[in-house]
Amino acid sequence: MDLQRAAANPLIRPQDVRPTRPDMDVIGVFNPAATRFGDETLLLLRVAEAVRDVPDRELAVPMVDCRGDEAVLRIERIRRDTPHLDLSDTRMIRLRDRLLLTSLSHLRLARSRDGVTFTIDETPALYPRDRAEEYGLEDPRITRIDETYFITYTAVSRWGIAVGLASTTDFVTYQRHGLIFGPENKDVVLFPARMGERFFALHRPAVIGLGELQIWLASSPDLYHWGRHTPLLSRRRGYWDALRIGAGDVPVRTDDGWLTLYHGVNAEHGYCLGAALLDVQHPSRLLARSAEPVMIPEAEYECRGFFDHVVFTCGSVLDDAGMLHIYYGAADACTCRASVPVADVLATLERPRRNFSAA
Amino acid sequence: MDLQRAAANPLIRPQDVRPTRPDMDVIGVFNPAATRFGDETLLLLRVAEAVRDVPDRELAVPMVDCRGDEAVLRIERIRRDTPHLDLSDTRMIRLRDRLLLTSLSHLRLARSRDGVTFTIDETPALYPRDRAEEYGLEDPRITRIDETYFITYTAVSRWGIAVGLASTTDFVTYQRHGLIFGPENKDVVLFPARMGERFFALHRPAVIGLGELQIWLASSPDLYHWGRHTPLLSRRRGYWDALRIGAGDVPVRTDDGWLTLYHGVNAEHGYCLGAALLDVQHPSRLLARSAEPVMIPEAEYECRGFFDHVVFTCGSVLDDAGMLHIYYGAADACTCRASVPVADVLATLERPRRNFSAA
The CATH class, in words, for B4-356 is mainly beta
Q: Which residues of chain A make contact with B228, given a CB cutoff of 8 A?
A: 177-179, 224-225
Q: Is pLDDT of B358 > 70?
A: no
- In 3D space, the residue among B107, B22, B34 whose CA is nearest the CA of residue B328 turns out to be B34
Nearest CA in chain A to B198: A225
Could you read off the pLDDT of B54-66 as tens digits, one per residue? 999 999 999 999 8
* Residue A174 burial (10 A CB sphere; 0-12, 13-18, 19+): middle
Chain B interface disruption, residue of A197, A210, A232, most B CBs within 10 A: A210
Number of helices and strands (H, E) in chain A?
2, 26
Rounded distance between C-alpha atoms, residue B155 and residue A47, angstroms: 39
CA of A132, closest CA in chain B: separation in Å?
A: 8
State the smallest CA–CA distance between residue A274 and chain B in angstroms.
22
Inform me whether the C-beta atom of residue B75 falls under 8 Å from chain A C-beta atoms: no
Residue ranges covered by each domain of chain B: 4-356
Give the pLDDT confidence score for residue A356 in this predicted structure: 44
The band of A354, judged by pLDDT with boundaries at 50, 70 and 90, is low
The pairing of strands B160-168 and B104-112 is unpaired
Q: How many CA atoms lie within 13 A of A272 on its CB side?
A: 23
For residue range B332-343, list pLDDT tens digits in order.
999 999 999 999
Cβ A244 vs Cβ A187: under 8 Å = no
Cα distance between residue B210 and residue A256, in whole Å: 39
Report the gap between the CA of A142 and the closest CA in chain B (Å). Answer: 19
Contact A178 B209 (CB under 8 A): no
**Interface residue A184 vs chain B (CB under 8 A):** yes
Q: In A, which residues are within 8 Å of B186 by CB distance?
A: none
Q: Of A93, A110, A111, which Cα lies nearest the Cα of A102?
A: A93
Give the residue from B305, B296, B167, B193 showing the smallest Cα distance to B240: B296
Nearest partner of A329 among A353, A301, A356, judged by Cα: A301
Contact B161 A210 (CB under 8 A): yes
CA distances from A7 to A10, A114, B108, B221 (A): 8, 13, 65, 49
Cα B92 to Cα B74: distance, rounded to the nearest angstrom: 17
Query: For A23-40, what is the mean pLDDT?
Result: 97
Q: By 3-state DSSP, what share of chain B in percent is helix, strand and coil, each rounded to 5? A: 5, 55, 40
Per-residue burial over B154-189, b if 16 or more Cβ lie within 10 Å, else e, is bbbbbbbbbbbbbbbeebeeeeebbbbbbbbbbbbb
Number of A to B CB contacts under 8 A, please give it. Answer: 159
pTM (2 d.p.): 0.95
Give the model confidence (pLDDT) of A48-78 as tens digits. Answer: 999 999 999 999 999 999 888 888 999 999 9
Q: Is A206 part of the contact surface with chain B (CB cutoff 8 Å)?
A: yes
Give the percent of chain A with pLDDT over 70: 98
Predicted confidence at residue B43, as pLDDT, reads 98
Task: State yes or no: pLDDT of A329 exceeds 90.
Answer: yes
Distance from CA of A225 to the nearest CA of B (A): 4
**How high is the mean pLDDT of chain A?**
95
Measured between CB atoms, does B359 come within 8 Å of chain A?
Answer: yes
Q: In which band, very low, low, confident or very high, does the pLDDT at B209 lie, cut at 50, 70 and 90? A: confident
- Please compute, for residue A324, the number of CA atoms within 13 A of its CA located in the half-sphere on the CB side: 27
With CB atoms and an 8 Å threshold, state whether B227 touches A157. no
CB contact under 8 A, B212 and A160: yes
Chain A: give the shortest CA distance to residue B108, in Å.
24
Contact A264, A245 (CB under 8 A): yes
Nearest CB among A159, A208, A216 relative to B231 is that of A159
A184–chain B nearest CA distance, Å? 5
For A98, name the nearest residue in chain B, comparing CA atoms only.
Answer: B210
| CB-CB under 8 Å, B358 with A210 | no
Q: Quote the CA–CA distance of A344 and B100 in Å, as a whole number.
A: 42
User: Are B224 and A229 an interchain contact pair (Cβ–Cβ within 8 Å)?
Assistant: no
Phi, psi values for residue B15, rounded to 5°: -70, -10
Q: Where are the alpha helices (DSSP H) in chain A?
A: 300-303, 342-348
Average pLDDT, chain B: 95
Question: Quick check: B208 and A203 CB within 8 A?
Answer: no
H or E element, residue B58? strand B58-65
Please give the single-letter amino acid code of residue A323.
M
Per-residue pLDDT of B224-249, as tens digits, reads 999 999 999 999 999 999 999 999 99
pLDDT higher than 60, residue B24: yes
The pLDDT value recorded for residue A358 is: 36
What's the Cα-to-Cα distance from B51 to each of B48, B54, B76, B117, B139, rounded to whole Å? 10, 7, 10, 28, 21
Contacts A179 to B, Cβ<8 Å: 227-230
C-alpha distance from B130 to closest chain A C-alpha (Å): 11
pLDDT band (50, 70, 90) for residue B359: very low
Q: List, for residues B83-116, the tens digit of each pLDDT value.
A: 989 998 888 899 887 889 999 999 999 999 999 9
* Res B356 pLDDT > 60: no
B65 CA: distance to closest CA in chain A (Å): 9
Amino acid letter for position B356? F
Tell me the per-residue pLDDT of A249-269, one tens digit each, with 9 for 90 and over: 999 999 999 999 999 999 988
Q: Does B216 touch chain A (CB under 8 A)?
A: yes
A160 and B205 in contact by Cβ < 8 A? Answer: yes
**B220 at interface of A, judged by CB pairs closer than 8 A:** yes
- Per-residue pLDDT averaged across A76-98, rounded? 89
Q: Do B206 and A211 touch (CB under 8 A)?
A: no
pLDDT for A353 beyond 70: no
Give the pLDDT score at A357.
Answer: 43
Please name the member of B158, B160, B205 whose beta carbon is closest to the beta carbon of A182: B205
| CB within 8 Å of chain A, chain B residues 123-162 | 131-132, 135, 156-162
Task: Give a three-class secondary structure readout of B106-136.
Answer: EEEEEEECCCCCCEECCCCCECCCCHHHCCE
